[in-house]
Structure 1
């Protein structure tokens, strides 16, 4: 998993799963805690996610809310969108530029 960006917007590329979630979590927590306003997580480069990755997205949403920041999931790919719809998280999360399956 490759992660880059700043405290307002991070980009992910690869698979968000049990093997990559810990590194991503550390980077995201620092970003969410480091600024104000919207926090954007661009997942247009994410090809798949598992339950751990999904849990991380929910945790980011909660952490951003506690910091009074809006969490935006940008560039949701069809495989990720499918998981969000199945879990009904697409109703809770702010999605931007999602590509429905």
Structure 2
């Protein structure tokens, strides 16, 4: 898999916090290399804008030739991704080697 950057997002992701989360994810995607792996175990997707920022980051990463995936999430987030069928493209189920960790607090 090569080099990866791991991002841990904590707190509520909603209309109030999405602008900051978006800026940080864009910076990570635009300036790094390899996969971007998101840990959302301590994050709560509060509304549609929270879900939208993940989709937007996924699409931005693809355009940059990178892969963005959720590698850890709460049960609630997992249910939300399954209900919206985003688990098909956003959830990574394979092993991850030596990521670089970047924390983002929503």
Normalised-by-shorter TM-score class: 0.7 to 0.9
Aligned partner of 1:73 in structure 2 is: 70
Structure ranking higher on relative contact order (CA contacts 8 Å, 6+ apart): 2
The TM-score normalised by the length of structure 2 is 0.78
Aligned partner of 1:90 in structure 2 is: 87
Let me know the Cα RMSD of the aligned residues.
1.7
SS in 1 for 2:92: strand
| Structure 2 unaligned blocks of 5 or more | 95-106
Shift of 1:24: 0.5
Alignment coverage as a number of residue pairs: 91
Asked if 1:52 corresponds to 2:49, the answer is: yes
| Structure 1 unaligned blocks of 5 or more | 1-6
Deviation by residue 1:27-83 (Cα, 9 ceiling, x = unmatched) = 110000011110111111113431001000100110000011111212111111111
